[in-house]
Amino acid sequence: MSEPAVADTRRLNSKPQDLMDAYGPPSNFLEIDVYDPQIVGVGRNRYTTYEVRMRTNLPIFKLKDSCVRRRYSDFEWLKNELERDSKIVVPPLPGKALKRQLPFRGDEGLFEESFIEERRLGLEQFINRIAGHPLAQNERCLHMFLQEESIDRNYIPGKV
Amino acid sequence: MSFFGFGQSADIDIILNDAETRKKAEHKSEDGKKDKYFLFYDGETVSGKVNVTLKYPGKRLEHSGIKVEFIGQIELYYDRGNRHEFVSLVKDLARPGELTQSQTFDFEFTHVEKPYESYTGQNVKLRYFLRATVGQRLNDISKEKDIVVHTLSTYPELNSSIKMEVGIEDCLHIEFEYNKSKYHLKDVIVGKIYFLLVRIKIKHMELDIIRRETTGTGPSVYHENDTIAKYEIMDGAPVRGESIPIRLFLAGYEMTPTMRDVNKKFSVRYYLNLVLVDEEERRYFKQQEITLWRKGDVVRKSTSHHSVIASQRFEGSSNPDKSGCQSNEDHES
């Protein structure tokens, strides 16, 4: 073979792209909103719940549009399940804010508007990061958290 | 011999016979500094002169012999006491006696075998050098002169492309292709990445070149990875059916040829690492080894041949092999 004087840098052959593939909807759509905080209960037994709405076209999720109510401890439960069962590094949750639960505070404590908003944002970031992880998508706990009305804490952990 | 610093001593210089004509090559030293050394190839003769210059003219210098050595040596940084010599040649220049005046000695190491390329790495060093020694009772007077050796290869007979389909089930499937598996140091990596399935949100894709230096054997093997290059080939989110081209020029990076199991002491291997990063900074990657080799410089016999090819490339005329195909395949809008 004679040696080329200038390097051959032509592109390799590739098939032309299907127009449907090029301009069709992307198959990676996944959006989760955490919104509408509501305070449930009375007196010292009050807590905040948030609406968790998921819209997706990923086939691994049974429902393409789901809406559930969850509280902070539910998110904690999910984090613990994933840390135990999956091999992923689970992102951090917004803080537990134990100090806010003590009495004699000048403000509304756990139900202070700015705090709830900060927590809501943190929870939204948390759930979006987890739900997009291919390894987390295999875990039953994630699907139960996002798409079932209530969380069965006695469930059998496993893969989807 | 005097103990008051007035004893005779000597300076040694080693000078190569072809110092005027021989090419020099740049080589990085252990502390990162670059220097130029005379370049030799396997089988070449190493000849020159050793100048022994007396410090105090008129006084004698007693010695236990004068010799010059040509040494090829592997040194592991964590085991500096045990330097392993794989080439060791000696020429005696003078029997034990005394020098009454400065003197020059000729030497020649004929057709010396230099089986490996000079290499200075993270944990190991392979070097070739001349060492001239004037033997003394307490401390020998010696001088070393390093040279650099390059190992050359020719175009390999078998050079298949690397083509593979990889992915994560139901999330990401790609088919990647690199035009060759063996590249010379000034070659171009031409390839493409074809997306079969994309269910994650990709932010960008890059191609990294990684050098892995392996030292030690058996249970004490140590790998040191070094990323030599990071080359972004795609910015943004691809969809199914898209093909991303790769054109990576190797001449811009400082690399050595692939060295496999040199004298059973160390290896230097190169890998292409294709890395995809999604919007959450998760990294998906596929590593593939490539073989690097050093091509000898071609001496151009006729300048007209060179200029014909140059004009074909830029003007797109006559030669169908080089210019025709590009327009036929160009259907990207």
Residues 6+ apart with CB under 8 A from B195: B173, B174, B238, B239, B240, B241, B242, B243, B244
pLDDT for A17 equals 92
Determine what percent of chain A is predicted with pLDDT higher than 70.
97
**Domain membership flag for residue A87:** yes
The domains of chain B are located at 10-149, 162-293
Structural class in CATH, domain B162-293: mainly beta
Domain count, chain A: 1
B87 bridge partner residues = B72
Contact residues on chain B for A18, CB-CB shorter than 8 A: 241
Are A5 and B242 an interchain contact pair (Cβ–Cβ within 8 Å)? no
Averaged over B269-286, what is the pLDDT? 96
**Domain membership flag for residue A21:** no
Task: Tell me whether B239 touches chain A (CB under 8 Å).
Answer: yes
Contact residues on chain A for B310, CB-CB shorter than 8 A: 5-6
Provide ipTM, 2 decimals.
Answer: 0.85
DSSP state of B300: P
Residues 6+ apart with CB under 8 A from B171: A134, A137, B197, B199, B200
Does the pLDDT of residue B3 top 80, yes or no? no
Averaged over B148-157, what is the pLDDT? 94
Q: How far apart are CA B38 and CA B22, in angstroms?
A: 7
Q: Are B204 and B235 in contact (CB under 8 A)?
A: yes
Count how many pairs of residues, chain A against chain B, have C-beta atoms within 8 Å. 87
Cβ of A71: how many Cβ atoms within 10 Å?
A: 16
Q: Are B171 and B199 in contact (CB under 8 A)?
A: yes
Right CATH number for B10-149 from 2.60.40.640, 3.40.50.300, 3.90.480.20, 2.130.10.10?
A: 2.60.40.640
Averaged over A114-142, what is the pLDDT? 95
Query: pLDDT band at residue A44, thresholds of 50, 70 and 90?
Result: confident
Domain containing residue A141 = 26-147
Are B155 and A1 an interchain contact pair (Cβ–Cβ within 8 Å)? yes
Task: Tell me whether B333 touches chain A (CB under 8 Å).
Answer: no
Does the pLDDT of residue B218 top 70, yes or no? yes
- Which tokens go with B125? 């060093």
Are A18 and B241 an interchain contact pair (Cβ–Cβ within 8 Å)? yes
Query: pLDDT band at residue B115, thresholds of 50, 70 and 90?
Result: very high
**B 118-137 residues with CB < 8 A to A:** none
Determine what percent of chain B is predicted with pLDDT higher than 90.
80
Averaged over A59-70, what is the pLDDT? 96
Of B190, B242, B279, the CB nearest to A12: B190
**Domain membership flag for residue A4:** no
Q: How far apart are CA B83 and CA B324, in angstroms?
A: 57
pLDDT for A110 equals 87
Contact residues on chain A for B188, CB-CB shorter than 8 A: 7-9
pLDDT for A104 equals 82
For chain B, give the mean pLDDT.
89
Task: Tell me whether A5 touches chain B (CB under 8 Å).
Answer: yes
pTM for this model (two decimals)? 0.84
**Domain membership flag for residue A160:** no
Averaged over B153-171, what is the pLDDT? 94
Contact residues on chain A for B280, CB-CB shorter than 8 A: 129, 132-133
> Which of B94, B110, B103, B87 has its CA nearest to residue B17?
B110
Averaged over B87-115, what is the pLDDT? 95
pLDDT for A7 equals 83
Give all strands (DSSP E) within A5-125, no chain letters.
30-40, 47-56, 65-71
**Domain membership flag for residue A158:** no
Are B245 and A11 an interchain contact pair (Cβ–Cβ within 8 Å)? yes
CATH number assigned to the domain comprising residue A102: 3.30.1520.10
Q: Are A135 and A88 in contact (CB under 8 A)?
A: yes
Q: How far apart are CA A84 and CA A68, in angstroms?
A: 24
Are A12 and B282 an interchain contact pair (Cβ–Cβ within 8 Å)? no
Same fold, B10-149 and B162-293: yes
Task: Tell me whether A10 touches chain B (CB under 8 Å).
Answer: yes
Does the pLDDT of residue B16 top 60, yes or no? yes
Are A10 and B239 an interchain contact pair (Cβ–Cβ within 8 Å)? no
Of B172, B247, B278, the CB nearest to A9: B247
